[in-house]
Amino acid sequence: MIAVREWSQKDIGEIAVLETQCFSDPWKEKDFQSVYGLPIAHGVVVEEDGKVIGYAIATFLFEDGEILNVAVSPNYRRQGLAKRLLAWLEERAKSLNAERLFLEVRVSNDSAKSLYAGYGFEQISVRKKYYENGEDALVMQKNL
């Protein structure tokens, strides 16, 4: 059975492993640990039979939320799980009185750009050479 729930510290090891399966420049477990300890950080996992198969993390400060990571295991993509993670973060944002959400996405990541656009995010700018390999990032925003 697939379930969506708030992340806990015990999830961080599985999240870090999943991160390496999904990204070419993954966060390390210590990066997730440091974000987890922040009072402005909120995370959600999607799990099947107790195994983390996706996660999303955002920070919220005043009227803004910034989505830091969204990932779904390659074996579980195209099943609407990323949309469920985004919906959870959006509900959390609204409960914290956020007015908008931001995120960055690689210009080459067409599937993620399509997901975010379909979820109501619009491109507002470009961050040149944002990623370690020199690739640009699109900055996207969704007003709540």
**Choosing from 19, 55, 90, 116, which is the catalytic residue?**
116
CB 85 within 8 A of CB 56: yes
119 a catalytic residue: no
What does the alpha-carbon distance between residue 40 and residue 51 come to, in Å, rounded to a whole number?
25
Decide if 76 is catalytic: no
- Catalytic residue (one of 36, 104, 119, 130): 104
Smallest CA-to-CA distance from 126 within 106, 110, 109, 111 is with 106
Known catalytic residues are 104, 116
